[in-house]
A and B are shown apart, each in its own frame.
Chain A
Amino acid sequence: MTGDSTAQRGTSEIAVEAKRALATAAAEPGSAKPDPILEARDMVRNFGGILAVDVEHLEVQRGSITALIGPNGAGKTTFFNLLTGFDEPTRGWWQFDGHQMSDVAAHRTAAMGMVRTFQLTKSLTKLPVIENMKLGATAQRGEKWWNALVPSLWRDQEHEIEARADELLARFALGHMRDEYAGALSGGQRKLLEMARALMTQPRLVMLDEPMAGVNPALKQNLNDHIRGLRDEGVTVLFVEHDMDMVHDVSDWVVVMAEGRIIAEGTPDQISNNPDVIDAYLGSHQGTSLLEDLEALEDLG
Chain B
Amino acid sequence: MDWEAIFEGTVKSFIGINAVYFAIAAIGLNVQFGFTGLLNFGQAAFMAAGAYGLGMTAHYFGISFWWGIGIGIVYAIVLGLLMGIPTLRLRADYLAIVTIAAAEIVRLVVRSVKFKDVFGGSDGINEFSGEFRRVGTDVGFEVADSYGFWWFTFTGRQMWTLVVGWILVAFFGTLVYMLMKSPWGRVLKAIREDEDAVRSLGKNVYSYKMQSLILGGVIGTFSGMVFALDRGSVQPDNYSRDVTFYVLTALVLGGVAKVSGSIVGPMLFWAIFVFIESTLREFTRDGPVRIGDFTLIDSTQVGQINLALIGLMLMLLMIFRPQGLFGSRKEMAFDDR
Contacts and interface: CB of A to CB of B under 8 A. Distances in A.
Whether the complex brings A and B within 8 Å at their CB atoms is answered yes
Interface of A: 84, 86, 105-111, 115-118, 122-127, 131-132, 134-136, 138, 140-145, 147-149, 151, 154, 158, 181, 183, 197-198, 200-201
Given A84-B200, A107-B205, A124 B179 contact: no
Interface string B309-337: 00000000000000000000011110010
Interface of B: 175, 178-179, 182-187, 189-190, 193-194, 196-205, 211, 215, 330-333, 336
B200 A158 contact: no
Nearest to A140: B183
B331 A143 contact: no
A124 B202 contact: no
B201 A197 contact: yes
Given A124-B193, A124-B194, A181-B330, A145 B186 contact: no
B330 A122 contact: no
In order of increasing CB-CB distance, the 7 nearest A-B pairs are A110-B202, A142-B183, A148-B182, A122-B197, A148-B184, A126-B333, A111-B202
Contacts of B175: 149
Nearest to B194: A122
A86 B185 CA distance: 24
A117 B179 contact: no
A165 B190 CA distance: 17
B330 A201 contact: no
25 contacts: A86-B200, A106-B200, A107-B199, A108-B202, A118-B196, A122-B196, A122-B197, A122-B200, A123-B197, A124-B197, A126-B330, A126-B331, A134-B183, A135-B186, A135-B187, A135-B198, A135-B203, A143-B183, A143-B203, A147-B182, A148-B178, A148-B184, A148-B185, A154-B182, A158-B183
Contacts of B183: 134, 140-143, 148, 154, 158
A107 B179 CA distance: 22
B206 to A, nearest CB: 8
A144 B333 contact: no
A123 B190 CA distance: 9
Given A125-B193, A126-B193, A126-B332, A145 B201 contact: no
Nearest to B187: A143
Which of B178, B199, B330 lies at the interface centre, i.e. has the most chain A CB atoms within 10 A of its CB? Answer: B199
Contacts of A154: 182-183
A280 B179 CA distance: 53
A110 B201 contact: yes
Contacts of B205: 107
Which of B190, B202, B331 lies at the interface centre, i.e. has the most chain A CB atoms within 10 A of its CB? Answer: B202
Contacts of A109: 202
A140 to B, nearest CB: 5
Contact of A145 (B179, B203, B204): B179
A116 B200 contact: yes
Nearest to A157: B183
Given A107-B205, A148-B185, A158-B183, A118 B193 contact: no
B129 to A, nearest CB: 30
